[in-house]
């Protein structure tokens, strides 16, 4: 079993809809939770990171962490075609390397 | 400025060639990383440098040789690669190895081995 599970998609939504992405994990030692956006043939771009449980909001993006359920989410409001990309979740314990999910491909159609 | 730069953007090499990838950051970060990413897969960690010293080698074949000349530069020397080594090679940096949650990636070098 992988430590981090993420549905690879593709996830197709119409412009203006809310995009809902999630990852589950098995390692209870994970403390830091990140979301990266990766456009085709580019490097990953750090969108948000959260320490421990709770919510974090940045513009149209909201990240949620539920450590009791070992479940993290990223919501993108008012989605735009420019949001079409692969979204990678990543997480790490206090000391240790990043563990990435497989990445979810998102397509926002005009 | 949260920029990590990588050169070249693209590289085509034969299996007998020697080439080098270069990575640079000017954020004052003391941890730098090399990752390999195959199509539709997440990045895989190869090496970690912390304060210019090799901290982690994820059992990478010796045909890949990292080098950290100073705190801003990271090189990856390539020799006698195989076609299966074709991938996107990503460099990243973070303030320290303990703060990987704020790890910033470069645009990558797309490598094709013929």
| Residue pLDDT tens, chain A, 110 long | 779 999 888 999 999 999 999 999 999 999 999 999 999 989 999 999 898 888 999 999 999 999 999 999 999 999 999 999 999 999 999 888 889 999 999 999 99
Q: A33: closest CA among A24, A42, A45, A41?
A: A24
Measured in degrees and rounded to the nearest 5, phi and psi for residue B83 equal -55, -30
Contacts of B110 in chain A (CB under 8 A): 41
Measured CA distances, B85 to B61, B80, B89 (Å): 10, 10, 10
Beta-carbon separation of A98 and B98 below 8 A: no
Instruction: Identify the residue among A8, A9, A44, A49 best suited for mutation to test binding to B, counting B beta carbons within 10 A and taking the highest.
Output: A44
How many domains does chain A divide into? 1
For residue A13, what is the domain's CATH number? Answer: 2.60.40.10
Q: What is the pLDDT of residue B100?
A: 73
- Which of A87, A94, A98, A99 is best to mutate for the B interface (most B CBs within 10 A)? A98
Are B1 and B27 a contacting pair, CB within 8 Å?
A: yes
CA A90 – CA A38 distance, rounded (Å) = 13
- The mean pLDDT of B46-62, rounded to a whole number, is 95
Q: B 15-74 residues with CB below 8 A of A?
A: 40-43, 45, 48, 56
From A44's Cα to the closest Cα of chain B, the distance in A is 6
Mean pLDDT for all residues in chain B: 94
Phi, psi values for residue B68, rounded to 5°: -125, 90
Which residues form the domain of A79? 4-109
Closest residue of chain B to A95, computed from CA coordinates = B98
The long-range contacts involving B38-42, CB below 8 angstroms and separated by at least 24 positions, are B38/B87, B38/B88, B40/A8, B40/A103, B41/A102, B41/A103, B42/A88, B42/A100, B42/A101, B42/A102, B42/A103
Residue of B nearest to A49 (CA): B101
- How many inter-chain contacts (A to B, CB under 8 Å) are there? 49
Q: What is the DSSP letter of A82?
A: G
């Amino acid at each position: 079993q992988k430590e981090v599970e993420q549905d690879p998609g593709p996830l197709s939504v119409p412009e203006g809809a809310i995009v809902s992405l999630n990852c589950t994990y098995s390692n209870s030692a994970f403390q830091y939770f990140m979301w990266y956006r990766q456009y085709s043939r580019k490097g990953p771009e750090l969108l948000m990171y959260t320490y421990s449980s709770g919510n974090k909001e940045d513009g149209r993006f909201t990240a949620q962490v539920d450590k009791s359920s070992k479940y993290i989410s990223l919501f993108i409001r008012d989605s735009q075609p420019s949001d079409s990309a692969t979204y990678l979740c990543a997480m790490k314990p206090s000391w240790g390397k990043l563990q990435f999910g497989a990445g979810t491909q998102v397509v926002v159609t005009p | 400025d949260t920029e990590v730069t990588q050169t070249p953007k693209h590289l085509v090499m034969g299996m007998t060639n020697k080439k080098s990838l270069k990575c640079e950051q000017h954020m004052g970060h003391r941890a730098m990383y090399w990752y390999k990413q195959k199509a539709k897969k997440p990045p895989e960690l190869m090496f970690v440098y912390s304060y210019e010293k090799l901290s982690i080698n994820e059992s990478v074949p010796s045909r890949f040789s990292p080098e950290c000349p100073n705190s801003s530069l990271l090189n990856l020397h390539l020799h006698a690669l195989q076609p299966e080594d074709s991938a996107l090679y990503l460099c990243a940096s973070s303030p320290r190895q303990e703060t990987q949650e704020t790890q910033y990636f470069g645009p990558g070098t797309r490598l094709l081995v013929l």
